[in-house]
Structure 1
Amino acid sequence: MLKYLLAALLLATHAAGAVTLAQLQERFASQPVIRADFTQTRQIAGMAQPLTSRGELLIAQQQGLWWHQRAPFSMTLLLDDKRMVQILNGQPPQVVTAEANPQMFQFNHLLRALFEADARVLQENFTLDFQAKGDARWTLALTPKAPPLNKIFTRIDLAGDTFLQQIDLKDTQGDRTHIELSNTRTQPPQLSAEERARFAP
């Protein structure tokens, strides 16, 4: 579950050209809404064939994260400051609140720092390797150095140009997740009525 959330939230490291982490943070602050499609491929240790899923995501600074997997089965995750909601194949929602699971939401606060590209928090929790590749392309390698991330991931690699395009997650169990993001858009800068309804209680 945390892998899905982290992968989606890392979309916020949106960048163009040879920029610094501080500039990434500034650029993200000017984008209140981010929408994208994703294709996720997971290579699980001991399994010959990778698992592939596809869907779409929505990140709204004031509301939170909406992550919808369309295939191979329907799954929706909603994460905000107070709750996490999972809906699987049309079944009744499963809700986890901050009061019921404070450790989960302590982790959520760190995810929000990633979501905001908070340079101070990133530097506290990761060893960073940011490189400009020319032609507006860039990479950012994150090596966790503190719990809980270093208990889950060994390394996180991001790559993109105007927007983040690829996320590679390597976890401590030997599994790997590769996410391709496409059709990223920031307009309109406000949520539609249908999008607001996704975050309704």
Structure 2
Amino acid sequence: MPNIRTAALSLLLAAMPAWALTPAEITARLQGPETVQGQFVQQRFIKSLAKPMQTQGRFALKKRTGLFWHIQKPLDLQLRVREQGIAQWDAAARIWRNSSQSGQAAQVKLFMAVLGGDTGELGKQFTISANGNPNQWRMQLTPKTAVMKQIFQDITIQGGAVVQQIELREKQGDRTVMIFSQTQTDQPLSAAAGNAFK
């Protein structure tokens, strides 16, 4: 019996390195699907508030195109995030209106990279570590540039086949948690998401 146990333990230990995912492997998994869509709940924890501010709704991410972010509660707001910036849907005029916030390009690039697990882009501004297996992994982003060090303590991304949770901890103590559920990959997009990606 001891020989069987030793052999089993040896096989287990030999297989363990194959379970540990590298940041590059996580990127490959996340960038596989052409589309990812589902529901989200976003909670913003602010030190001065007793309860977190919460929004929820639906999202759709389309590879090489952008992100559709539809807040449904507590208000109805449709946003389109692309490399060019953020646009908001004007239902009355039936057009997308571009936002003119300054410094938005860097924020958009960061958000797209975090949600898409783009470690190549993230590696320019963060030190990346990862652990786990294909079904349950965790990626930690620690700021390495002066700008990101002023904003973030760290960013944690967790998931499996897709991103399931993102937590952004800010330098001043506030944090944002986004939880994604009922996620589908490579399925027909909703009419609203399809409109956003035209």
| Smaller-chain TM-score bracket | 0.7 to 0.9
**Higher RCO (CA-CA < 8 Å; seq separation 6+):** 1
Contiguous gaps of at least 5 residues in structure 2: 1-18
Shift of 1:51: 1.4
C-alpha distance in 2, partners of 1:110/1:159?
16
Between Structure 1 and Structure 2, whose CA radius of gyration is higher? 2
The C-alpha deviation readout for 1:144-185, integer Å capped at 9, x for no partner, is 121543332211112223332221111123211112110111
Shift of 1:137: 1.6
1:197 to 169, 179, 195: 195
Question: Which residue in 2 is equivalent to 1:141?
Answer: 140
Aligned length: 178
Letter in 1 for 2:135: A
Question: Which residue in 2 is equivalent to 1:185?
Answer: 184
Summarize the alignment of residues 93-112 of structure 1 with structure 2, pairs less than 5 Å apart.
94-96=97-99, 103-112=103-112
Are 2:127 and 1:127 equivalent residues in the alignment? yes
Letter in 2 for 1:197: N
Shift of 1:107: 4.2
Task: Give percent identity, aligned residues only.
Answer: 28
Contiguous gaps of at least 5 residues in structure 1: 1-16
Letter in 2 for 1:153: F
C-alpha distance in 1, partners of 2:99/2:146?
21
Letter in 2 for 1:59: L
Letter in 2 for 1:105: A
C-alpha distance in 2, partners of 1:68/1:19?
32
C-alpha distance in 2, partners of 1:54/1:112?
18
Are 2:59 and 1:57 equivalent residues in the alignment? yes
3-state DSSP of counterpart to 2:149: helix
Shift of 1:115: 4.9
Which segment drifts farther, 156-165 or 42-51? 156-165
RMSD: 2.8
